[in-house]
Amino acid sequence: MEKRAILAIILSFLIIYLFQTFVFKPETPQQTAPAPAQKTEAKETPPVQTSPASKAAPAATQAAAAPARAQGPGQDIAVETPFFSAVFNTRGASLKSFKLNHYNQTLKPGSPLIELVDIKEGITGPLSVSFPGSSVNVSADEIYSADRRRISLQGSDSQQLAFSLPLKGGIKIEKIFTFYGDRYNFDLEVRVVNSSGVNLSQKPLLIWSQYADPKAEEDSYGHQGPIFSVKKDVTTESPNKVEKKTLGPDTSWAGYESKYFISAMIPKQPSLTNLVLSRAAGDIIFVGLEGPVNLIPPGQAGSFQYALFLGPKEFSILQAQKAGLEESVDFGSWIKWLALPLLLAIKFLYQYVHNYGLAIIILTVIIKIIFWPLGNKSYKSMRQMQQLQPKITELRERYKNDKQKLNQEVMQLYRLHKINPLGGCLPVVIQIPVFFGLYKALLYSIELRHSPFVFWIQDLSEKDPYYITPIIMGATMFWQQKISPQVGDPMQQKVMLLMPIIFTFLFLNFPSGLVIYWLFNNILSIAQQYYINKKM
């Protein structure tokens, strides 16, 4: 049984490594750069069926409502807050740029800020709106007029930016953004004002469009591409495998993510909202929210409301959106119950030591204290089993041709001396979930991104650039084996001698924060082993 447990541990780590290296290969977590749809590209989005209310509107109204197409690139409107610097454009009343003020692309001095919008010339930006299958023909890239040219906010201030598009026949489209000086999220209201003499039916389609570079380097530890939550089920799509489809209703949110950042659209009526996903020529990905049909009588206005979040995937901030957006952080469904408390513990300790590396070390000490009694029992069990090795060797010689009898005699020997053969490896097995929980917490939490420890380790979320800590970690494992009681048959002992090499190889590309945890866990285990040896 002990041999099987040891092999299970080794295989667990090998499976993780092979899965991350060869199977799970989403796009690189570069700065997400949505590239919006042109008028011709909007035709590539999934078709929307015309509702009965839409058929009720006179066909003449549709023709009369089409605006005279404005020409030109549109005008820019700057929005500045302590959290982001955005540029909107009157073409499509859409985003042209969205930079996060507190996040740089790299650690190099003067590194550019993270940019969440990357559009090509002539392409309308994200957050454009169209009305497919409705009684008013409005494309996503019409030229709107804006009520101001610049917004600057501080603290708890808020301000609106209103775009309007008058159409023939007394119809007007309005897009009203509300910004706040103390948060990443902002609001959007799409209004259709009906001053005509007939009923109008409107079904809005809010689009986030993204250019997916087919030559972008792949990353084994993060996903970049469409992500959405439909019927409380969070799904990610590889940009290279996106196919035209409509899902829902009951879409809680949708958008485009990278490893550490997300651009998300959150409808105020999720139970009536569909998800629209498609891909157009030029490697353009469309993620859309298709709203419910709204019948607007003459003299009234229809309103569609959304919350928008463009920022870091910090769990507490995402959770505050109250839309389930925190599920975009990939803690893993089976280990999230442990990964999240470990992350919260690290953040709590960080408040006092102001260094995430020190916080990880302190957490390692706390975990070791919790498992200290189990460790004592483990080392004592291993010592007792070592004392029985001569008798077990004798039994192996006596019953070398009768494996069943040998197993019975060995178990009888364990019972006689009141030894649990699994006692030596049980504490290690119990700590494996802690390791995986911490692995997820450190790998996907933005708090560790660009967080320094000491000297050459300037980013705890990345691997050790000089592989110093993994090598020291492997040396401590070898040292720990040398001072531990040697139990099991010769084959088991040979397998154990390979573990420091295997673990060193596996840890070479792990986040340095995780390597620091395992390294200091080994050091504490060595100290505990010396203590038990001296005591016994």
Q: Is the pTM of this model over 0.75?
A: yes
Measured distance CA(55)–CA(173) in Å, rounded = 20
Q: Is the pLDDT score of 378 beyond 80? A: no
Q: In what order do the strands lie in the sheet with 251-257?
A: 145-146, 158-167, 171-180, 186-194, 300-312, 261-267, 251-257, 225-230, 233-236
Q: Which of the 8 DSSP states describes residue 3?
A: H
pLDDT at residue 83 tops 60: yes
Mean pLDDT of the 286-299 span? 91
Question: What residue ranges of the chain are covered by domains with CATH 2.70.98.90?
Answer: 41-66+75-328
Is residue 424 very low, low, confident or very high in pLDDT (cuts 50, 70, 90)? low
Round to whole Å and give the CA distance between 239 and 231. Answer: 22
Q: Which residue has the higher pLDDT, 62 or 256?
A: 256
Do the Cβ atoms of 527 and 371 come closer than 8 Å?
A: no
Residue 362 has pLDDT above 90, yes or no: yes
Is the pLDDT at 30 greater than 90? The verdict is no
Which CATH architecture describes the domain 41-66+75-328? Distorted Sandwich (2.70)
Would you give the DSSP letter of residue 142?
A: P
Judged against a pLDDT cut of 70, whether residue 65 lies above it is answered with no
DSSP one-letter code for 232:
T
